[in-house]
Amino acid sequence: MLKCGLKTPVFSDFLNVDIKEMKNDLLIRAAKGEQVERIPVWMMRQAGRILPEYRAVRSSVNGFKELVKNPELICEVTLQPVDILGVDAAIIFSDILVIPEAMGLNYEMIESKGPNFPKTITSEQDVAELTTDVIPNLEYVFESLRLTKSALNGRVPLIGFAGAPWTIFSYMIEGKGSKTFSQAKKMLYTNPVLAHQLLDKITTATIAYLQEQIKNGADIVQVFDSWAGVLSKAQYVEFALPYMNRIAAAITAVPVILFAKDAHYILTEFAQTNANVIGLDWTIEPAAARAQTKGKTLQGNLDPCVLYADKATIKKETEKMLQSFGGQQYICNLGHGVYPDVNFEHAKYFIEVVQDYKL
């Protein structure tokens, strides 16, 4: 708790920490394609989910949203995987759904079910009413970044993030999680003009949000396109790629990671964006991904289910993956977020296997 104590940090406490002052900058160097002496590793969704220490913090508050708006607790749960699992980066504890909320579309997080939007976007009027001036509404995230950056004291880089425009659009139309996102896709066919208007507004808000995260301490940012897999390639090219491109082009101060789950069809196009890193899910063969993404760093892609296996299997599967990616231009991760019922000792062992791997 102490290390996240709420004093108002002085500007110089956390801003413009020269990368050379960072004790472990492997992730940033790998993202930029620079030489590393060992492979950096972190896990998507490492903050929260698997740690008993997270559950203790979580049960001390009244619901997920109370936690997401509490900078001191955010700092604490963001640091937990760094302290307990020894990962090479911290990812700020937050959620992709803070953007719709800041644009004017409120959500609730229903216990053991997931997000729900009481009101969804259905008309021109609804889109017109959304604001893109989101920064004033997200001060709690920026304060969390400042506190966390200061508490990390340069130990490892701090990752900022946002949902991709298509994924955020999906929630704003559908109002909740879905296997098919058929309501969201329906708008692509029935009112593509309105769909583009909404995607454009989400993109404008997201760029401002990521830039402000960087000003407040994020050393690198990841864009999560979790529901890319419900789109065909042609739809992705029309309704998602232009907005990913815009984000990657706008963020120049720090490296950018694009992660589109189940979108194996888009690797060649991602390789032509300004992004530094392309995240991969486990359905993509490392060699096939390398062939399509020359010049980019790759991140991924162990099946999160491997962490259910015994340690010998975790070691075998992880080392096989490390070998196929090769040691440079590579960030080790899972192919999606760690599953909540994974034993954290197994997650910790996965991290150790990667960090012990000799290049």
For tokens 């970044």, the residue is 145
Residue number with CB closer to ligand CP3 (176 or 316)? 176
| Alpha-carbon gap, residue 354 to 86, rounded angstroms | 11
Catalytic residues: 45, 49, 58, 95, 171
Query: 219 with 277: CB under 8 angstroms?
Result: no
- CA 230 from centroid of its chain's CA atoms: 19
Each residue 86-105 as x (binds ligand CP3 by CB under 6 A) or -, in order, gives: -----x-xxxxx--------
Residue whose CB is less far from ligand CP3, 31 or 328: 31
Site for ligand CP3 (CB under 6 A): which residue of 46, 70, 80, 144?
46
What distance in Å separates the CA atoms of residue 195 and residue 105, rounded to the nearest whole number?
16
CB of 149 to ligand CP3, least distance (A): 15
Cβ proximity to ligand CP3, 67 vs 130, nearer residue: 67
Beta strands in the chain (DSSP E): 90-91, 108-110, 114-116, 158-163, 220-225, 256-260, 277-279, 297-302, 330-334
Q: How far is the CB of 247 from ligand CP3 (least distance, A)?
A: 15
Whether 40 contacts 30, CB under 8 Å: yes
Question: Per-residue x/- mask for ligand CP3, residues 235 to 274, rule CB under 6 A?
Answer: --------------------------x-------------
- Please identify the residue of the shown chain whose CB is closest to the bound ligand CP3: 48
Residue from the set 3, 38, 58, 196 that interacts with ligand CP3 by CB under 6 A: 58
Nearer to ligand CP3 by C-beta: 46 or 148?
46
Element (H, E) at 69: none
CA distance 152 to 310: 32
Strand 330-334 and strand 297-302: the pairing is: parallel
Find out whether the peptide bond into 301 is cis, omega within 30 degrees of 0: yes
The reply on whether position 49 binds ligand CP3 by CB under 6 A is: yes
Tell which residue, 21, 2, 50, has the closest CA to residue 351. 50
The vertex-218 CA angle with 215 and 222, nearest 5°, equals: 120
Q: Supply the minimum distance, in Å, between the C-beta of residue 49 and ligand CP3.
A: 5
CB of 23 to ligand CP3, least distance (A): 22
Determine if 224 is a binding residue for ligand CP3 (CB under 6 A).
yes
Q: How many Å apart are CA 32 and CA 13, to the nearest integer?
A: 25
Shortest gap between Cβ of 95 and ligand CP3 (angstroms)?
A: 4
Instruction: Convert 98-117 into a string of H (helix), E (strand) and C (coil).
Output: HHHHHHCCCCEEECCCEEEC
Q: Are strands 158-163 and 277-279 parallel, antiparallel or unpaired?
A: unpaired
Considering only residues 316 through 335, tell me which ones interact with ligand CP3, judged by CB under 6 A.
none
Q: Binding of ligand CP3 at residue 44 (CB under 6 A)? A: yes
Q: 58 vs 196, which CB is nearer to ligand CP3? A: 58
Task: Out of 40, 71, 100, 115, point to the residue binding ligand CP3 (CB under 6 A).
Answer: 115
Stretch that binds ligand CP3, among 1-9, 43-51, 289-297, 320-328 (CB under 6 A): 43-51
**What residues make contact with ligand CP3 under the rule CB under 6 A?**
44-49, 58, 64, 91, 93-97, 109, 114-115, 161, 177, 224, 226, 261, 337
